[in-house]
Chain A
Amino acid sequence: MYAFDVERPTTLAEAAAALGGDNQALGGGQTLIPTLKARLANPDKLVSLADISEMKGIKLEGRLLRIGGSTVHADVASDGTYSALSELASHIGDPAVRSRGTIGGSIANNDPAACYPAAALGSGATIVTNTREIAADDFFQGMFETNLNDGEIVTAVKFPVPEKANYQKFVQPASRFALVGVFVAKFPDGVRVAVTGASNDGVHRWSAAEDALSADFSASAIEALSVPAENLISDLHGSPEYRAHLVKVITGRAVTAAS
């Protein structure tokens, strides 16, 4: 690692003031610290968000489940209010990673194979920052890309709780990220399907499946569909064609599990 300081503000205002320039936010650090160890980043200062109490906690606000940005995966996993989300959180990384990794960090990083972006997009969540609220549909903008501004902090994510939902992950067996992960959520006004792990564009919705499942929420409803392999990820663990195939298989499994 290059040398840097770590600051631990206790209020959002202090954190926001400390960010900017070559200062970087530190959530749980489960992605950032390995990146720093590989000397792939060289911040002047890390601003830890872990001690900001207003960024922690899980609260049902009407029909929205509000999860503070600094809430760790383990706490979401044990909450259970939104069971599909808790189930998803209980399989991120490994137990030690879940003790430290945060939802805000995961959402802000938007790793193309991460689980939370699929939940946020699949649930039609709202990303709350220190300056604004952003619909998930607008927030995720491709691999590692979001519409966060420099220094903007994900303070919370607000999830509408669907009637039925499920997340299925076919793991990349080395990293334990998703080779393909699919989050399916059924709301009174329709079904949302979000896919992670598969695309060079990062997390995205599968609209053809959403239409089919909105009409008939069963695995058989998507049988006639096919996923184009175009622009899907090609790596050691799977070709675009294989990923395309998996997207459909895993979506079907998620629907079955949700039903």
Chain B
Amino acid sequence: MTQVSMTINGASVSGDVEGHTLLVDFLREDQRLTGTHVGCDTSQCGACVVHVNGRPVKSCTMFAVEANEAEVSTIEGQAHADGSLNTIQQAFQDHHGLQCGFCTPGMVMSAAALLKDNPKPTVAEVRSYLEGNICRCTGYHNIVKAIMAASGQDVSAIAAE
């Protein structure tokens, strides 16, 4: 066992982990932050995306010890301090960008990473950026629309409801 310390959503935490403990398991099992999900074994689905030191990573493809001393942000830390949804979360709700909700935490975290680097992406850039996030419910239409809306761009031309 190795002791790791990190900041998760602004709070300092530490815990004992084994070398092979994945960051996602540390988050879910030790920290009980179960909003970060596991949807595959091959680092493709993106349900586990969190930010480590400001960058999006797949927490199922990183060891907890590699996040020692890092700043980690998860879906649980995204809402405003008063509990209200942040701009991206609100856009996902307003534009029905989620259905079963399982891929949603990863989608929101990826969207946040995209808009940090590219505040006004094109539709093609949004679609391209999401290649590591799989959703089986929405057909992506409303996810893309929500991210465009969250970037402050006019989405009225994107079809319907």
Contact = CB atoms under 8 A, between A and B. Distances in A.
Interface of A: 1-6, 8, 29-30, 33-34, 36-38, 45-46, 48, 50, 74, 93-97, 99-100, 175-176
B51 to A, nearest CB: 9
A96 B132 contact: yes
A34 B61 contact: yes
- For the residues of B in contact with A, the DSSP-based class is mixed
B103 interface: no
Contacts of B114: 95
A8 B66 CA distance: 8
Interface residues of B, number: 30
B29 interface: no
Contacts of A34: 41-43, 61
Contacts, number: 78
26 contacts: A1-B20, A4-B19, A5-B18, A8-B65, A8-B66, A8-B68, A29-B61, A29-B62, A29-B63, A33-B60, A33-B63, A34-B41, A34-B42, A34-B43, A37-B41, A45-B19, A48-B66, A96-B49, A96-B56, A96-B57, A96-B110, A97-B58, A100-B57, A100-B61, A175-B44, A176-B131
Contact of B56 (A1, A4, A99, A176): A99
Contacts of A5: 2, 18-19
Interface of B: 2, 18-20, 22, 41-44, 46, 49, 52, 55-58, 60-63, 65-66, 68, 110, 113-114, 129, 131-133
A45 B20 CA distance: 10
A30 B18 contact: no
Nearest to B106: A96
A142 to B, nearest CB: 24
Contacts of A1: 20
B62 A100 contact: yes
Contact of A97 (B2, B43, B113): B43
A170 to B, nearest CB: 15
A74 B51 CA distance: 14
Contact of B61 (A2, A8, A33, A45): A33
A96 B19 contact: no
A48 B114 CA distance: 28
Enumerate the 7 nearest inter-chain pairs by beta-carbon distance, A residue then B residue, closest first.
Answer: A94-B132, A5-B19, A99-B55, A6-B19, A96-B56, A1-B20, A96-B58
Given A6-B66, A30-B61, A100-B61, 16 more contacts: A6-B20, A6-B65, A8-B65, A29-B62, A29-B66, A37-B41, A94-B46, A96-B46, A96-B57, A96-B58, A96-B132, A97-B58, A99-B52, A99-B56, A175-B44, A176-B44
Contacts of A94: 46, 131-133
A173 B137 CA distance: 19
Please indicate which of the listed interface residues B2, B44, B61, B131 has the most CB atoms of chain A within 10 Å of its own CB. Answer: B61
A38 B129 contact: no
Contacts of B18: 3, 5
A237 to B, nearest CB: 15
A96 B112 CA distance: 12
Contacts of A37: 41
A235 to B, nearest CB: 16
